[in-house]
Amino acid sequence: MDRIDRQWLQALSAGPLSVYRLLDMQDASLPEFFHQLQVWQRRGWVVLEDGRVRLTEQGEAVARGLGAFLEDVRCPQCQGTGYRWGERLQQAFEKYLEITRSRPSAAAQYDQGFIDPEGVMRRVAFLYERGDLLDARLFVVGDDDLLSLAAALTGLPKEVVVIDIDERLIRFINDWAERENLPVQARVVDVQHALPEDLQGRFDVFVTDPVETLPGIELFLSRGVSALKGVGCAGYFGLTTLEASRQKWYRIQEMLLDMGFVITDIRRQFNVYPQLEGNFFSYQEQLPIVRRLGVPIDHDWYKSSFYRIEAVRPPRPRVRGTRIIDEAVYRDEESWATPY
């Protein structure tokens, strides 16, 4: 019995769970989760009925024999992240909420999806705590989350520059930046090609949420890295365990070391992609995991960890020239929450 087995037994020991709630309470990637569900069904340990997973008598006996029980051990005030914000950041959050009400919908062709507004503000609080907002030049590679506006609303960054391929987002960000007199500039830039020279080597911090294939992560991180000034600069990015197995995490961490970075922080399940109107769950029928389970989504199960990395050597992007975004960049055998 491995660690994932033990997570499942703990989670199910208190009674049946939505299959998406169970997915949220364990660490296996989506293909591993689906395989495990089939294995447990063949063993006679669980049944899946009406979208809920429950232990059979045999499964309950296994759980009892091991002494499995379920208790909530996470802080209910911060979704288990350990981060909140005070009066100054609350003012920025309220304006950010107003802005997000008219945001563009997520587009399947760009594999878009945005995290919940509270999660965006927790990211801002995290950057603030780590000293990466005050008087900083911030570079955002893709901004489905509108983090650029949330960060600028604090009044702390010297400059925020966003690049994205989606002209709708670019117009939206620039319009609000002008309306609120924020130091934000958004530009249509295709990450398939090297950054324009005026964006290279001039920023203190980058933030991105990369495609979770190895070529995709390498590409997005390289564009962020190429924008940094040098040693001591930082990068932030989201990464799931759902579409990135532990073997993939190992390869990614090798990339980071090769590019001259150390990992200073990994905040597990720091961000939630909610079932809000206009988010990527609106095209859930295109997601392989939903098709395979045959059950509509009923829980906010898609969550990502948040990495902070810091350059200890002159940053060295692994992709310097053009890399065409083809099927191999967008999807691999673990991309079960990416639209097909």
- Helix and strand numbers (H, E) in the chain are 12, 10
For position 111, what pLDDT does the model report? 62
For position 114, what pLDDT does the model report? 83
For position 330, what pLDDT does the model report? 85
What number of residues does the chain have? 340
For position 96, what pLDDT does the model report? 97
pLDDT average per 10 residues of sequence, the chain (340 residues)? 95 97 96 97 97 98 97 86 92 96 75 83 97 98 96 98 95 97 97 96 97 95 98 98 97 98 96 75 84 93 96 97 87 89
For position 70, what pLDDT does the model report? 96
For position 150, what pLDDT does the model report? 98
Residue ranges and CATH numbers for the domains of the chain are 3-66 (1.10.10.10), 87-330 (3.40.50.150)
CA distances (Å), 152 to each of 79, 94, 135, 166, in order? 24, 13, 11, 20
CA torsion through residues 5, 6, 7, 10, sign: positive
The Cα–Cα gap between 314 and 220 comes to 18
